[in-house]
């Protein structure tokens, strides 16, 4: 538990599912106020909201496509209206599509970039504007991926979006450090969430991915939200512009494990 988080307010984009839902549930345990943003699945947003309440947090649900200009501002307005403040903004929502790059249409490319990268830009921009206008310190936490670093053939739009988030996080962290606005990113490895549930339901596919992780297993959303809570808290008060890899060692060149190579 991080005592300083109690009573603070966080907005979580894509907070209805997977890693975003785990972050909402964890911050509920910290007795925070949460705005769960969802795009399509209201039922999962309601289920997550129930768990947040059971965990001791307060919560509202707000629909919106975060790739559209103005939606992040609406989420912040809703937070302030309900809870009186907005302290932490999680740019968590994301998507991926798989196709050989030479077959990807411009529309397909733009969709991934607009949700993952433009959505992160729009959320960060709205949050910074709110804090500057109100003369407050702030905290942005982006969800990047090990694929900000590891190339991923047939997922070029996803890898490009996450690589973009990396330098966007580092650049904005430097740009707003003097205003006491911290900006960091979590970089999950292979985590068992709906984004890859279909793939991991196949034991062979699960085993193949697990074999690419030095710790030999797929991660749990709760293991990611634990890192997110630390970045949200004042325990990380001197940390900005950083990538927190939560990946069982996936970025450590696992092919070299056991002295191979
Ligand atoms: P998920 O599919 O469960 O969650 C994705 C969330 O993003 C959903 O809530 C979805 O509704 C939301 N979303 C998508 N487009 C949106 C839009 N336009 N507007 C608002 N919300 C939108 O998958 P997840 O694994 O929980 O993914 C969360 C984040 O974690 C993503 O950014 C993803 O790239 C990243 N990530 C996941 C893994 C993994 O292995 N699961 C690994 C690395 C990074």
Q: Could you read off the pLDDT of 88-122 as tens digits, one per residue?
A: 999 999 999 999 999 999 999 999 999 999 999 99
CA angle centred on 250, ends 18 and 257, rounded to 5°: 150
Centroid of ligand 1 to alpha carbon of 189 (angstroms): 13
192 lines ligand 1 (CB under 6 A): no
Helix locations, the chain, DSSP H: 18-29, 42-54, 71-83, 106-113, 119-133, 156-176, 197-200, 203-210, 221-232
Q: pLDDT value at position 135?
A: 98
Sign (positive or negative) of CA dihedral 82, 37, 58, 136: negative
CA 230–ligand 1 middle distance (angstroms)? 20
Report the nearest-CA residue for atom 44 of ligand 1: 145
Q: Say what the pLDDT of residue 249 is.
A: 98
Strand arrangement of the beta sheet that strand 58-63 belongs to: 58-63, 33-38, 9-12, 88-91, 138-143, 181-188, 243-246
C-alpha R_g of the chain: 18
Cα(56)–Cα(33) distance, integer angstroms: 9
What domains are there in the chain, each with its CATH number? 3-250 (3.40.50.720)
Nearest residue to 66 (alpha-carbon basis) of 22, 45, 36: 36
Dihedral sign, CA of 150, 156, 160, 161? negative
- Rounded to 10 degrees, the C-alpha dihedral 11/16/18/21 comes to 50
Return the pLDDT at 105.
98
The pLDDT value given to residue 152: 97
Rounded Cα–Cα distance for residues 184 and 122 (Å): 16
Cα-based angle 69, 75, 93 (whole degrees, multiple of 5) = 70
Q: CA of 25: how far to CAs of 48, 92, 203, 247, in Å?
A: 7, 14, 28, 20
Q: Is 229 in the pocket of ligand 1 (CB under 6 A)?
A: no
Is residue 145 lining ligand 1, measured as CB closer than 6 Å?
A: yes
Pocket test for ligand 1, best of 25, 93, 114, 187 (most atoms within 8 A of CB): 93
Which amino acids are annotated catalytic? 158
Q: Locate the ligand 1 atom nearest the alpha carbon of residue 114 and give its number.
A: 18
Q: Which residues pair with 35 in a beta bridge?
A: 11, 60
Q: Is 248 in the pocket of ligand 1 (CB under 6 A)?
A: no
24 lines ligand 1 (CB under 6 A): no
CB atoms < 10 A from the CB of 204, how many?
7
Retrieve residue 142's tokens.
């982006």
Per-residue confidence of the chain (261 residues) as pLDDT tens digits?
899 999 999 999 999 999 999 999 999 999 999 999 999 999 999 999 999 999 999 999 999 999 999 999 999 999 999 999 999 999 999 999 999 999 999 999 999 999 999 999 999 999 999 999 999 999 999 999 999 999 999 999 999 999 999 999 999 999 999 999 999 999 999 999 998 888 999 999 999 999 999 999 999 999 999 999 999 999 999 999 999 999 999 999 999 999 998
Which amino acid residue places its CA nearest to atom 9 of ligand 1? 14
| 85 Cα to the center of ligand 1, angstroms | 25
């Amino acid at each position: 538990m991080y005592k300083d988080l109690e009573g603070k307010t966080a907005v979580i984009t894509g907070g209805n599912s997977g890693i975003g839902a785990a972050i909402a549930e964890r911050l509920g345990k910290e007795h925070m106020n949460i705005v769960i943003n969802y795009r399509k699945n209201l039922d999962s947003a309601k289920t997550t909201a129930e768990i947040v309440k059971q965990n001791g947090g307060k919560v509202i649900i707000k629909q919106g496509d975060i790739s559209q200009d103005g939606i992040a501002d609406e989420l912040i307005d809703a937070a302030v209206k309900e809870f009186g403040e907005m302290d932490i903004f999680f740019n968590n929502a994301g998507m991926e599509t798989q196709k050989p790059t030479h077959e990807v249409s411009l529309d397909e490319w733009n969709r991934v970039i607009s949700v993952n990268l433009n959505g992160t830009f729009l959320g960060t921009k709205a949050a910074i504007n709110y804090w500057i206008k109100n003369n407050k310190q702030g905290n942005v936490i982006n969800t990047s991926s090990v694929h900000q670093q590891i190339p991923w053939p047939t997922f070029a739009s996803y890898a490009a979006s996450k690589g973009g988030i990396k330098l966007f996080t580092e650049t904005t962290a430097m740009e707003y450090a003097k205003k006491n606005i911290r900006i960091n990113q979590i970089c999950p490895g292979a985590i068992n969430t709906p984004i890859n549930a279909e793939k991991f339901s196949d034991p062979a596919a699960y085993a193949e991915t697990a074999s690419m992780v030095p710790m030999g297993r797929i991660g749990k959303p709760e293991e990611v939200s634990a890192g997110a809570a630390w970045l949200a808290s004042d325990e990380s008060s001197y940390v900005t512009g950083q990538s927190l890899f939560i990946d069982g060692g996936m970025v450590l060149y696992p092919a070299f494990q056991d002295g191979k190579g």
